[in-house]
Amino acid sequence: MSESTPQRPLMGIFWMLVTGVCFVAVTALVKHTGDRIPAQQAAFIRYALGLVFLVPMIRSLMAVRLSGRLWGLFLLRGTSHAFGVMLWFFAMTRIPIAEVTAMNYLAPVYVTIGAALFLGERLAARRILAVGAALLGALIILRPGFREVDEGHIAMLIAGVVFGGSYLLAKVLSGEANAGLVVAMLSVVVTIVLAPFAWAVWVTPTWVELGLLFCVAIFATAGHYTMTLAFSMAPVTVTQPVTFLQLVWAALLGLAFFGEPIDGFVVLGGLVILGAVSFITWREAVLRRRIVTPPAPATKV
């Protein structure tokens, strides 16, 4: 958001609240769909159905001429993101909604580390401490040695890294291509990459399952749109803390509809992680640097 853009913090907070509702709806719908359809197939159907939102852009997309370098970056980002999506869908069938939501907050932390390693961002002592606090939050959630760490937890840890890498590549691409093209190419490449994985395990979906996954695509698209509205009206440092409410809603939803008890350690760990991410974002804003650390919802599927 440029300094000349009028700030409307209350509207920014409102749209971030709507964003949270959209992404919690995505999580709940995927959870409700269940594991009859394999994770890679469910991910493919979600993205394939989501291509309908690109129809108005077809003519402009066909007219775009990309360099070999841009094609390579788009393919690399789409491929990595596709694996992240498969891992996320798998995790949803294995662990509670609240744990998926809390662990998803780690992706911006991985972005901060990656920006230091690959984009030359300076990682000052305070940011290192914030990253350490976020990783401590992950340990609070997982509590290895005190309970069994499920395959779903491992999948979410890896997914966070992959989504972080996807976001960093998006940062590079945003300097060389317009935002609409970056989003459209991600959807197209992810769908293509997921196709053979889905075909290998294909189970004929019911109309209900197709409808649920189409709703996932609708809510995911709406969430990214309302998130953009929120950032156009208020700084990330204002909207970032609001994302913690997603964890509250996810925990309540899991309790009410899926019989998942609220785990205080998960809530505490999620709060620690999001607090660390908010601090890193705030420091970037105070130092008037280009914000590299993304808002928590920016790495959603």
pLDDT digits (tens, 9 = 90+) for 9-37: 788 888 888 988 898 899 889 988 888 99
Q: Could you tell me the pLDDT band of residue 298, with boundaries at 50, 70 and 90? A: low
- Is residue 150 in some structural domain? yes
pLDDT at 289: 56
Token representation of residue 2: 């440029």
The helix or strand, by DSSP H or E, that contains position 136, with its residue range, turns out to be helix 125-142
pLDDT at 107: 80
- Is residue 253 in some structural domain? yes
- Is residue 3 in some structural domain? no
What contacts 19, CB < 8 A, 6 or more positions away? 223, 226, 227, 230, 243, 297
Read off the pLDDT of each residue in 190-204 and give the average, rounded to a whole number.
96
- Is residue 200 in some structural domain? yes
3-state secondary structure of 144: strand
pLDDT at 170: 82
- Report how far Cα 173 is from the mean position of its chain's Cα atoms: 18
- Is residue 197 in some structural domain? yes
Range of the domain at 287: 9-299
Report the share of the chain in percent with pLDDT over 70.
89
What is the CA angle 229-233-236, rounded to 5?
90
> With 50 as the cut, is the pLDDT of residue 208 above it?
yes
- Is residue 40 in some structural domain? yes
Read off the pLDDT of each residue in 264-282 and give the average, rounded to a whole number.
85
pLDDT at 287: 64
pLDDT tens across 28-69, in order? 899 888 889 999 999 999 999 989 888 887 777 777 777 888
The helix or strand, by DSSP H or E, that contains position 3, with its residue range, turns out to be none
- Is residue 2 in some structural domain? no
3-state secondary structure of 94: coil
Query: How far apart, in whole angstroms, are the C-alpha atoms of residue 89 and residue 282?
Result: 31
- Lowest-pLDDT range of 82-91, 205-214, 243-252: 243-252
CA distances from 146 to 140, 143, 156, 265 (A): 10, 6, 19, 12
pLDDT at 7: 67
> With 90 as the cut, is the pLDDT of residue 84 above it?
yes
Query: How many distinct structural domains can be found in the chain?
Result: 1
- Is residue 4 in some structural domain? no
Read off the pLDDT of each residue in 131-149 and give the average, rounded to a whole number.
84
